[in-house]
Chain A
Amino acid sequence: MNWQPAADLDVIRQRARVYSQIRTFFNTRGCLEVDTPQLMPTTSTDINIASISVAGNNRVQYLQTSPEYAMKRLLAAGSGSIFQICHAFRQGEAGRLHNPEFSLLEWYRCGYDYHALMDEIELLVTTLSLSRCSFARIGYRELFRQSLQLDIEVASLEELREQCSQRVPGTDASGFDSDQCLDLLLAMSIAPKLQGYLFVYDYPISQAALARANPNDSSVAERFELFHNGIELANGFSELTDAGQQRARFERDNQARRERGLPQPEIDERLLAALESGIEDCAGVALGLDRLLMILLDLDSIDQVLTFRD
């Protein structure tokens, strides 16, 4: 019987070192550590994220796919800037870079926009790194233009599908919608060639998730992701604080879920009520700690940093 940890003890010690430095970083920068429940009666409606449901005492509960909703309720309650180190759960995600249970660092900065938050991420990652690191930023559309000579603003759905079959041989994209095409091209054609730390920002509004629209260009959302050598490490937003728009997005998610025959989780009315009561302008980000450890320690599989993977 193999009862041994998946990670080396040295990796487990490095994780403790990183967590301790993260706490020091935020404590000295006026960010409050919080702890929100992992088991809650509502969950994300995001069409590409599947929750793990658990039979509760008298109702179904969900293992949280991220602490986002609960943390925003704290922000609405006047917590000020907050951070959390926690586990998050996503059904069906397993592979070299995925585990259904994984570790997240999530934080929210009152008064920041997404670019100010990217600055802070650079500072944090540099603090945790054992070597020097350099960062670059590029707009989502510009990345497609430079990498694929493709202007996604003007490309038709047919052209996007054609690009998928061409750039990723063995792909039948005939049933893909435009976001699925963009996901495929970014994940399998563009990302594998990216080098170093790179922020990609201003995602198409159709992929806004919980980000607000860019006030200068409503076709994009103030959302960013951080990649390291093509591996996605963090996802953040200038947060959408408008309860009406947030409700419309939840409803649209569940409509799309209905069309695809996916479960439609109840909309989180508590979050909407919190947004309704008013929430300061802020930016927030979730950073995958397992992947961060892989990068810091130069390991290539998540198995090497998970304490156990039974």
Chain B
Amino acid sequence: MASYSTNEFRSGLKIMIDGDPCAIIENEFVKPGKGQAFNRVRIRNLKTGRVLDKTFKSGESVDAADVIDTEMQYLYSDGEFWHFMDPQTYEQQAADAAAVGDAGQWLKAQDSCEVTLYNGSPIGVTPPNFVELEITDTDPGLKGDTAQGGTKPATLETGAVVKVPLFLEIGELVKVDTRSGEYMSRVKK
């Protein structure tokens, strides 16, 4: 199996920690002038999403994780699995709820997203940073109230619930930042 020495550590590198695939978020080289050198590393467990810190003695090696991020098209969900297709090879992948996580609420058929494959199977799904979705349910809009603050919950076509300005109506299209879950703007159809 391929391995990486600590001097190859950089953010984004995928390594195996305690049997799980992890991605390096931050790597800091710590060395007393006359003392042992260490690498202090912040990593994200790609299966659980948990972030943790690890210390290595510099020069140690760690197994590489067979992880690739691949752009795929979301097809549909059958209730148990979310199905994706590689637009080049037409190869399909089924991801379970653990792999899809919170990304599920932003996925609309035909949209493309990033699927993380570990040993060839999906372990994570990252939606596009911005999605445009239709409002399927919300309280009636307050006409003319375009300047004042104030928000109301709105259910979108994928099931996500976001806070939107009071003037928006059912059937309108909104742009949402999936990283924060925040409403960005109204989209003209």
A interface vs B, CB < 8 Å?
Answer: 46, 48-49, 92-98, 168-172, 175-176, 179-180, 182-184, 186-188, 207, 209, 225, 232, 235
Contact = CB atoms under 8 A, between A and B. Distances in A.
Q: Which 6 A-B pairs have the closest CB atoms?
A: A95-B29, A183-B35, A171-B55, A170-B54, A170-B53, A183-B36
Contacts of A175: 57
B36 A179 contact: yes
Given A92-B58, A170-B55, A171-B55, A188 B34 contact: no
15 contacts: A49-B34, A94-B29, A95-B30, A169-B52, A169-B53, A172-B55, A180-B57, A183-B32, A186-B32, A187-B35, A188-B38, A209-B34, A225-B32, A232-B32, A235-B34
Nearest to A225: B33
Interface in B32-55: 32-38, 40, 52-55
Contacts of B37: 48, 92-93
Nearest to B38: A184
A287 to B, nearest CB: 11
A93 B55 CA distance: 16
Given A188-B38, A188-B40, A96 B53 contact: no
A9 B53 CA distance: 37
Q: How large is the interface on B (under 10, 10 to 19, 20 to 34, 35 or more residues)?
A: 20 to 34
A93 B31 contact: yes
B102 interface: no
B36 A184 contact: yes
A152 B100 CA distance: 49
Contacts of A95: 28-31
B146 interface: no
A172 B29 CA distance: 17
A182 B38 CA distance: 12
Nearest to A172: B55
A188 B59 CA distance: 18
Given A180-B36, A183-B36, A98 B31 contact: yes
B11 interface: no
A170 B40 CA distance: 9
A64 to B, nearest CB: 15
A187 B29 contact: no
Contact of A184 (B34, B52, B54, B55): B55
B7 interface: yes
Nearest to A260: B59
Contacts of B38: 183-184, 187-188
Interface in B5-45: 7, 28-38, 40
B36 A96 contact: no
Contact of B7 (A92, A172, A188): A92
A182 B35 CA distance: 9
A168 to B, nearest CB: 6
B29 A207 contact: no
A147 to B, nearest CB: 15
B149 to A, nearest CB: 38
Contacts of A94: 7, 29
A188 B33 contact: no
A263 B51 CA distance: 37
A94 B33 CA distance: 12
A170 B36 contact: no
Contacts of A209: 34
Contacts of A187: 30-32, 35, 38
A113 to B, nearest CB: 19
The CB with the most chain A CB atoms within 10 A, among B30, B34, B38, B52, is that of B34
Contacts of B34: 46, 48-49, 207, 209, 235
A232 B33 contact: yes
B29 A170 contact: no
A96 B28 contact: yes
